[in-house]
Amino acid sequence: MKPFQYRLAKSVPEAVAALAQIAEARPLAGGMTLIPALKHGLAAPAALVDLGGIASLRGVSFENGELVVGAMTTHAAVAGSPIVNERLPALGRLAGGIGDPQVRHRGTLGGSVANNDPAADYPAGCLGLGATIVTNLRTVSADEFFTGFFSTALAPAEVITSIRFPVPMRAAYVKFANQASRYATVGVFISQSANAVRVAVTGAGRSGVFRAGEMEQALAKDFRPETLPAHCVALDDLNTDLHASAEYRSHLINVLARRAVEACMGAPSRHPVRHGGAYAF
Amino acid sequence: MTTKAVEGERHTIQVTVNGKRQAAEVDSHTLLVEFLRESFRLTGTHVGCDTSQCGACVVEFEGNSVKSCTMLAVQADGGRITTIEGVGSREALHPMQEAFTECHALQCGYCTPGMVMSACDLVRKNPSPSEAEIRDWLDGNLCRCTGYNNIVRAVSEAAQALASGAQAGVKSGA
């Protein structure tokens, strides 16, 4: 690993100032992606600005009908939060299915969302719930935040402080997890609220997380698994890699969306449910 | 690709390792596992994959199991760390170590310190885990020898022994 400077920020303004002042500085959240990237030489910042010392970035609350999760809240804290599991259990299950227990003890919501890995779970949760990403500068809707493969609307020296999740009538997340990493080979998050159905797909798209418009329209008319269209995303827009072909991912989108609708409808699952395993409802 | 010379920095950190508070000087880019092995010679914490997948490097940090190959030593400043050396001793094994021995839950032993650290974290948080919960929790610990069955049995037996009051160095007799 190449040497770098390390700054522990005590507040958001202090972090932002350090990021603005030091050329090629990067924020360090939980480090579950960034530290491996440093070790592999995939990233070589001049400095890391550690957000881990900012207590105000951690915690969960329920305000004005929305679940507000601090950016530095770990996956384990979200998965174990009574507020999350009462108000939005689908989000708690999503967090509990990321990586493994040790990754969940360090990895954070803000880090995952800012990284926007095309196979990460949280981007699907944000997009599928119509969340609002709150930064030190502004608020950005999830629809505008995720701009492509590992890219977001964040400006340099802009830091996510929290994410606000509207609470829908019902929601579910189902993923087909890679056996080694637990990243989503494909993951589908579906939510139904009074005025909209949202379907967000992660792991499948060549440009990262996306909404499946045809599925949303079908479910808005008739919220049943039978109404979901098959192969509704162009194969050219889907990933092919050593884990799965575009054709297989296309098939999985439909299968997982059906299971997510069934889970929303409260049907007993026909499939094994494991914490952190292949299926997270 | 041009490489840019970046001056490394030294940081003085305070950590409590296996109950002993100490100060140490580390580079910004020193990993926690390197720090524990090289500064303190606590070589029970192993480096396996070095990519945060295998779990051989698991230690307890501030009450949670973490992968010490994917954490910087400076991030541990002010914190409490327990390594396998702090769990039991040769003379007085921890009930989890006792159960691993009794159940033949290890062969080559390379993954064992991480397995034990992870399993101890599980039973602290969930004193009577089901078999499915044990298997699920050990998702981040790879073993290439045992096939896991004896490990799962050991964790289950240790949980029962701990629930009935077993302590390090005292055989449960269960």
A100 touches chain B (CB under 8 A): yes
Chain A interface includes B52 (CB < 8 A): yes
What is the CATH architecture assignment of B11-86? Roll (3.10)
Q: What is the fold, at CATH topology level, of the domain defined by A1-50?
A: 3.30.43
Q: Per-domain residue ranges for chain A?
A: 1-50, 170-264
Alpha-carbon torsion (B157, B161, B162, B163), positive or negative = positive
Distance, in angstroms, between B139 CA and closest chain A CA? 6
**Which pLDDT does position A278 carry in this prediction?**
38
CATH of A170-264, one of 3.30.390.50, 3.40.1360.10, 3.40.50.300, 3.30.460.80: 3.30.390.50
Name the minimum distance, in Å, from the CA of A46 to any CA of chain B. Answer: 6
Which residues, other chains included, contact A81 with Cβ-Cβ below 8 Å and sequence gap of 6+?
A: A60, A92
pLDDT category of residue B111 using cuts at 50, 70 and 90: very high
User: ipTM beyond 0.85?
Assistant: yes
Of A169, A192, A166, A196, the residue nearest A67 (C-alpha):
A166
C-alpha span between B57 and B48 (Å, rounded) = 7
Q: Determine if residue A165 is left, alpha or beta; phi over 0 gives left, psi from -120 to 50 gives alpha, anything else beta.
A: beta
* Residues B48-80 pLDDT 10s: 998 889 999 999 999 999 999 999 999 999 999
Structure tokens belonging to residue B170 = 């005292």
Q: Does A41 touch chain B (CB under 8 A)?
A: no
Give the position of tokens 């910087």: B72
Q: Which residues pair with A189 in a beta bridge?
A: A173, A200
pLDDT of residue A179: 85
Q: Indicate yes or no: CB of A6 within 8 angstroms of CB of B9.
A: yes
The pLDDT of residue B171 is 55
Type of residue numbered A223: F
Q: What is the pLDDT of residues B129-167, one digit of tens each?
A: 999 999 999 999 999 999 999 999 999 999 999 999 877
What pLDDT was estimated at residue B166? Answer: 78
Residue A222 is predicted with a pLDDT of 97
Separation in Å, CA of B173 to nearest CA in chain A: 31
For tokens 């999830």, name the residue. A142
pLDDT value for A136: 98
CATH for B95-163, options being 1.10.10.10, 3.40.50.10170, 2.40.50.140, 1.10.150.120: 1.10.150.120
**Do residues A75 and A32 touch, judged by C-beta distance below 8 A?**
no
* B56 part of contact set with chain A, CB < 8 Å: no
Per-residue pLDDT of chain A (281 residues; tens, 9 = 90+): 899 999 999 999 999 999 999 999 999 999 999 999 999 999 999 999 999 999 999 999 999 999 999 999 999 999 999 999 999 999 999 999 999 999 999 999 999 999 999 999 999 999 999 999 999 999 999 999 999 999 999 999 999 999 999 999 999 999 999 988 899 999 999 999 998 999 999 999 999 999 999 999 999 999 999 999 998 999 999 999 999 999 999 999 999 999 999 999 986 555 444 433 334 33
CB contact under 8 A, B66 and A102: yes
Long-range contacts at A13-22 (CB < 8 A, ≥ 24 apart): A13/A136, A15/A49, A15/A51, A15/A54, A15/A159, A16/A136, A16/A157, A16/A158, A16/A159, A18/A47, A18/A49, A19/A49, A19/A156, A19/A157, A19/A159, A20/A156, A20/A157, A22/A46, A22/A47, A22/A49
Where do the domains of chain B lie? 11-86, 95-163
B66 at the A interface (CB within 8 A)? yes
Facing residue for B72 by CB, picked from A32, A35, A102: A35
Residue corresponding to tokens 């507020």:
A83
Confidence of residue B7 (pLDDT cuts 50, 70, 90): low
Please give the mean pLDDT across all residues of chain B.
Answer: 92
Residue A50 per-residue DSSP state = E
Q: For B89-118, what is the mean pLDDT?
A: 96
pLDDT of residue A268: 59
Residue B84 above 80 pLDDT? yes
- The Cα A84–Cα B95 span in angstroms is 35
What pLDDT is stored for residue A277 in this prediction?
36
- Residue in chain B closest to A30 (alpha carbons) equals B71
In three-state form (DSSP H/G/I as H, E/B as E, the rest C), the secondary structure along chain B is CCCCCCCCCEEEEEEEECCEEEEEEEECCCEHHHHHHHHCCCCCCCCCCCCCCCCCCEEEECCEEEEHHHCEHHHHCCCEEECHHHCCCCCCCCHHHHHHHHCCCCCCCCCHHHHHHHHHHHHHHCCCCCHHHHHHHHHHCCCCCCCCHHHHHHHHHHHHHHHCCCCCCCCCCC
Give the C-alpha separation, A194 to A5, whole Å.
49
